[in-house]
Chains A and B, each alone.
Chain A
Amino acid sequence: GQNIDQPTEMTATEGAIVQINCTYQTSGFNGLFWYQQHAGEAPTFLSYNVLDGLEEKGRFSSFLSRSKGYSYLLLKELQMKDSASYLCAVREDYGNNRLAFGKGNQVVVIP
């Protein structure tokens, strides 16, 4: 079975920093992905972690702790266009690309 948990919604101010957490319990683990999804649009890839530690990519950083079943996505210098749902997804098996998604965290950026 799989359980991927994310908080449902948060509001932050333009220019601020926001951290979105994801905890997971899955039968296997072969990587954790973060996707951004604007309303009515397809998810777009943000980051991928398979080893413990921090991966930085411009304004976005993602952290993974496999022993704790925990990841976070850090968004810096928030912009209005960052208002979206942020989806955490775990790949359980090495032999395929099947992703188990959380429900997503809706981030609302206000001026």
Chain B
Amino acid sequence: DAGVTQSPTHLIKTRGQHVTLRCSPISGHKSVSWYQQVLGQGPQFIFQYYEKEERGRGNFPDRFSARQFPNYSSELNVNALLLGDSALYLCASSLELAGGHEQYFGPGTRLTVT
């Protein structure tokens, strides 16, 4: 079975631009979460979606938005990019919303903002 997939794998943008990152969860998984991981740090929670609804939001500005589609895939959008947005963006899927179900992470999208 395919794991969590993310696209693109690498991306270079300039300040002020916007970016869309994509994630496809493991087949049958209904929940998708997004994390930002800056070099040398642990992942920071951005959003969780379950059944196409936002079920959690981390401490990120409104420039960050996301959505989940009927097939449970998800997009993360970041507007007005700043240098500090350079990071590895991880998508994680889980079977259900919560309750001990482990999250499976995708390979990530490495975003570089210049």
Contacts and interface: CB of A to CB of B under 8 A. Distances in A.
Interface of A: 4, 30-31, 33, 35, 41-45, 48, 50, 87, 89, 91, 93-104
Interface residues of B, number: 30
Nearest to B6: A42
Contact of A98 (B58, B90, B104, B105): B58
Contacts, number: 69
B48 A96 contact: yes
Contact of B45 (A30, A41, A98): A98
Nearest to A8: B40
Given A95-B98, A97-B33, A43 B43 contact: yes
A75 B106 CA distance: 24
The 3 closest A-B pairs by CB, nearest first: A101-B42, A42-B105, A96-B56
Given A97-B31, A97-B103, A91 B42 contact: no
A103 B43 CA distance: 8
Contacts of B108: 42
A74 to B, nearest CB: 19
B42 A104 contact: yes
Contacts of A99: 33, 35, 43, 45, 103
Contacts of B40: 103
A35 B42 CA distance: 10
Contacts of A101: 35, 42-44
Interface in B73-114: 90, 92, 94, 97-108
B52 to A, nearest CB: 15
A87 B98 contact: no
Contacts of B41: 103-104
Contact of B98 (A30, A42, A45, A104): A30
B88 to A, nearest CB: 8
